[in-house]
A and B are shown apart, each in its own frame.
Chain A
Amino acid sequence: NAGVMQNPRHLVRRRGQEARLRCSPMKGHSHVYWYRQLPEEGLKFMVYLQKENIIDESGMPKERFSAEFPKEGPSILRIQQVVRGDSAAYFCASSSGQGGSYEQYFGPGTRLTVT
């Protein structure tokens, strides 16, 4: 039973480069969530997707950030022209349904460092 997979686990980018973070949900899960954890802070919601649809992106910064969950393949969180403030741990979670009655299972996270 594979859990939520994220890769890479660690990513180093120079300012101005692009970062692509991948998330494969648990088998049978079609709901994906992305969260960001800044150093010594809790997780902050970014975006919620179902296959081929962005359902809620209320937590996404308006610029440079985008997310997708294609019909085939992993969900991708893309950060263009990274800045130092983007350095954080990015967690992906998946669930089998929408709403609080479904646990969100988290991946191990991708730690992004912008130099």
Chain B
Amino acid sequence: AQKVTQAQTEISVVEKEDVTLDCVYETRDTTYYLFWYKQPPSGELVFLIRRNSFDEQNEISGRYSWNFQKSTSSFNFTITASQVVDSAVYFCAFCPPNTGNQFYFGTGTSLTVIP
């Protein structure tokens, strides 16, 4: 069975601090996809990144970076120099390869950036 764990329920940081959001997943599949989504207070879900299990290169996009470690089944997300607009709930999601019909979401991490 697939499972995604986001152990951090809530995080508060002061503006300009760096923050890392953890995501750990469980699967028996050797190929799969991982995602991060942002849910700001307005409620919509915004796609941030997709990573397939073959590609363990870390990725950086502006202030965002992702660290994928297949050996530890983790896909962590770091925001550098956080800003108030980063305040949101962040969800990690897993998609298995065979059915590909559904994403398995973690319970989310609520990030508050204090000005």
> CB within 8 Å of B: which residues of A?
33, 35, 40-45, 48, 55-56, 58-59, 89, 91, 93, 98-101, 103-109, 111
Contacts and interface: CB of A to CB of B under 8 A. Distances in A.
* B contacts with A: majority SS: loop
B37 to A, nearest CB: 7
A42 B107 contact: yes
Interface in B91-111: 91, 93, 95-97, 99-108
A42 B101 contact: no
Interface stretch (B43-51, B57-65, B67-75, B80-88): B43-51
Nearest to A109: B43
Interface string B1-31: 0001010000000000000000000000000
The winner among B43, B47, B101, B104 for most chain A CB atoms within 10 A is: B101
Contacts of B45: 43, 91, 93, 106, 109
Contacts of A44: 105
A100 B32 contact: yes
A58 B99 CA distance: 12
B95 A105 contact: no
Contacts of B101: 33, 45, 48, 55-56, 98
